[in-house]
């Protein structure tokens, strides 16, 4: 497909939309069909921490020591090439145009679609005001509102402190970092009582964020908490094991 130009001169926008972001060949979407076929792999996953079941063999399941658990979790992808690079662009390089692409992929997954359809509220993991000012948007809200525009609210769960970016911390530090970080808007708490909630996040790493949000929501007496994430991180051993299984 040839690049097109429009009157407003959005050259960069159109260029990124027409070159596959993995192989750099012309493509009708963010990724070309070949790259999508190669890299879009689905796995059976743990229903709590969304780790691929095969990856569990490299160690015990990540969620065995989770204190606060969702009723169900779904992850669309593993946080590996090229998805890690695309998500990084989406999150850190202001490429908010990737939201429609990711939302479309998420909604093509039948169990994610069904989970969203039966939800009463689809709530993004909130960012602090300071982080939104830096980034310009909350990437998880961008996904949530595209998937479930009628059910998505960015301000029911609030992030009360600006804490160090989770990516720079180890597992123990992350859990500590998030204690008491999430609170409900007191004027909206009654809305979610006995309701089915879906939490949306871009990446699930240690589960510290999800556990902290579950603790907050469970205190508010919701009926059910499910989690939908774009990508799940794996340890190096887990990635190696999955690649060995894939080679056969």
Instruction: Tell whether residue 48 is a contact of Zn ion (CB under 5 A).
Output: yes
Cis peptide before 82 (omega within 30 of 0): yes
Instruction: Tell whether residue 20 is a contact of Zn ion (CB under 5 A).
Output: yes
Instruction: Tell whether residue 241 is a contact of Zn ion (CB under 5 A).
Output: no
Among 17, 30, 45, 49, binds Zn ion (CB under 5 A): 49
Site mask for Zn ion (CB under 5 A), range 25-44, x = bound? -------x--x---------
For Zn ion, which is the closer residue by CB, 147 or 210? 210
Handedness of CA 116, 124, 233, 211 (dihedral sign): negative
Instruction: Tell whether residue 22 is a contact of Zn ion (CB under 5 A).
Output: yes
Phi-psi region of 198 (alpha: psi -120 to 50; beta: other; left: phi over 0): beta
Instruction: Tell whether residue 184 is a contact of Zn ion (CB under 5 A).
Output: no
Among 14, 18, 19, 23, binds Zn ion (CB under 5 A): 23
Q: 226 - beta bridge partners?
A: 72, 198
200 — phi, psi (to 5°)?
-115, 130
Say which residue the tokens 């990437």 belong to. Answer: 139
For Zn ion, which is the closer residue by CB, 20 or 127? 20
| Secondary structure (3-state) at 229 | strand
Instruction: Tell whether residue 203 is a contact of Zn ion (CB under 5 A).
Output: no
Site mask for Zn ion (CB under 5 A), range 58-97, x = bound? ---x-x----------------------------------
Distance of CA 204 to the CA centre of its chain: 7
Cα 2 from Cα 125, distance rounded (Å): 38
Residues that bind Zn ion (CB under 5 A): 20, 22-23, 32, 35, 46, 48-49, 61, 63
């Amino acid at each position: 497909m040839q690049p097109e130009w429009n009157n407003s001169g959005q050259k960069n926008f159109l260029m990124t939309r027409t070159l596959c972001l993995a192989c750099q060949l012309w493509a009708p979407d963010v990724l070309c069909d070949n790259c999508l076929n190669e890299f879009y792999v689905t796995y059976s996953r743990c229903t709590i921490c969304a780790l691929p079941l095969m990856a569990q063999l490299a160690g015990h399941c990540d969620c065995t020591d989770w204190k606060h658990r969702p009723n169900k979790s779904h992850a669309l992808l593993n946080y590996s090439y090229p998805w890690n690079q695309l998500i990084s662009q989406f999150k850190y390089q202001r490429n908010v145009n990737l939201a429609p692409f990711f939302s479309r992929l998420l909604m093509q997954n039948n169990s994610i679609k069904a989970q969203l359809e039966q939800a009463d509220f689809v709530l993004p993991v909130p960012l602090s005001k300071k982080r939104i000012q830096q980034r310009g948007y909350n990437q998880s809200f961008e996904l949530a509102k595209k998937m479930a525009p009628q059910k998505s609210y960015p301000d029911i769960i609030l992030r009360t402190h600006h804490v160090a970016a989770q990516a720079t911390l180890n597992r123990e530090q992350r859990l500590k970092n998030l204690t008491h970080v999430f609170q409900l808007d007191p004027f909206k708490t009654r809305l979610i009582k006995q309701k089915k909630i879906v939490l949306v996040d871009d990446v699930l790493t240690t589960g510290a964020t999800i556990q902290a949000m579950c603790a907050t929501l469970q205190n508010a007496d919701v009926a059910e908490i499910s989690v939908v994430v774009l990508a799940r991180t794996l340890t190096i051993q887990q990635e190696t094991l999955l690649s060995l299984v894939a080679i056969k």
